[in-house]
A = this chain, B = another copy of it.
Amino acid sequence: MIQSTVFQLDDYGPWTVTPTPRAEMDLQTLQSRLYADVASFVGERGGYVFYTRGDNCIAITNGIDRETHRTLQRSIANRYPITCSMGIADGETPAAAVADATAALNAEGSAQGGTRTERLAGSTLETSATLSIAHFDIVDATGRLTDQADAYAVHMAVQEWATTLSRTLYQDHDALGFFVGGDNLIAVCPTLSEATYAELIDRVETETHTAFRVGVAAGTTPHEAGIEAKHQLELAREREETVVMAPNALRPSQSEFAPEH
């Protein structure tokens, strides 16, 4: 079971142009710092949060209770010129959890309109559960891309790769992929077999002409699974393998999640 939290700034769009448009770098500074604060808070408690749209962030929050969410919400209001609402839900898959967390949030009112303020909707998981994190990176990104092509072309190549990989993960496996900088993409996944990862990588490599690999691990929090996935990815680099999975991430393939899209 996955617990997800969707963070959404209240009435942020209108604020950015009231009374007149605000300087873009001030907005970027605000969004980045706010995200850094949320990442720090959620991360210290074992969770993961991703920037996504800046004014809407998606988190995996297994193990973080409602009162702790409230503490973060109050801190944001005390530090920033805007407030934040949150929707929390759990689901069998990462995609299902985010969908329900969004529904809980949207039931509280529109992201814009000025009437919704600091709502905290939905409920947290009562029990501990296992989740999987897959950490992908590009093979020799520095040698093949960063040191070779111009910075914008590399950025575009990485974006195309990340977008294609994320779309495939989402459509075929109800997994959620997030680009996290450099040449790294972190995905919150249902239990998937090594063969599934290998096939997925084959398919996306064919489409994007970008060679990449993955380390996978399971844990009761995103941090626990994610830090072990990084170790597996280090092994994949050393061994020049494409998929390396921690033993705890290897489950019978028959239980594999296969959504009917």
Residues of B within 8 A of A80 (CB): 79-81
Per-residue contact bits, chain A 49-88, to B (CB 8 Å; 1 contact, 0 not) = 1011111101000000000000110110111110000000
Using known A-B contacts A56-B151, A166-B156, A180-B24, determine if residue A40 contacts B75 with beta carbons closer than 8 Å: yes
Write the nearest CB–CB distance from A130 to chain B, whole angstroms. Answer: 18
Write the nearest CB–CB distance from A98 to chain B, whole angstroms. Answer: 5
Q: Are B155 and A58 in contact (CB under 8 A)?
A: yes
Per-residue contact bits, chain A 150-178, to B (CB 8 Å; 1 contact, 0 not) = 11111110111001001100100000100
Distance A180 CA – B27 CA, assembled complex (angstroms)? 9
Q: Are A81 and B77 in contact (CB under 8 A)?
A: yes
Write the nearest CB–CB distance from A72 to chain B, whole angstroms. Answer: 8
Residues of B within 8 A of A81 (CB): 77-81
The answer to whether A110 has its CB under 8 Å from any CB of chain B is: yes
Interface residues in A1-48 by Cβ distance below 8 A to B read 6, 8, 12-13, 16-17, 20-33, 35-37, 39-44, 47-48
> How many copies of this kind of chain does the complex include?
4
Q: Are B182 and A21 in contact (CB under 8 A)?
A: no
Write the nearest CB–CB distance from A40 to chain B, whole angstroms. Answer: 5
Q: Are A26 and B75 in contact (CB under 8 A)?
A: yes
Q: Are B21 and A28 in contact (CB under 8 A)?
A: no
Using known A-B contacts A31-B181, A152-B98, A159-B163, determine if residue A25 contacts B53 with beta carbons closer than 8 Å: no
Residues of B within 8 A of A17 (CB): 230, 234
Q: For A147, give its contact among B72, B95, B106 (CB under 8 Å).
A: B106
Write the nearest CB–CB distance from A120 to chain B, whole angstroms. Answer: 16
The answer to whether A139 has its CB under 8 Å from any CB of chain B is: no
The residue on B at minimum CB distance from A101 is B151
Distance A20 CA – B176 CA, assembled complex (angstroms)? 25
7 additional contacts, CB 8 Å, given A56-B151, A79-B80? A23-B78, A25-B44, A26-B43, A40-B41, A55-B181, A152-B176, A156-B167
What 4 pairs across the A-B complex have the smallest Cβ distances? A25-B43, A54-B181, A21-B230, A26-B78
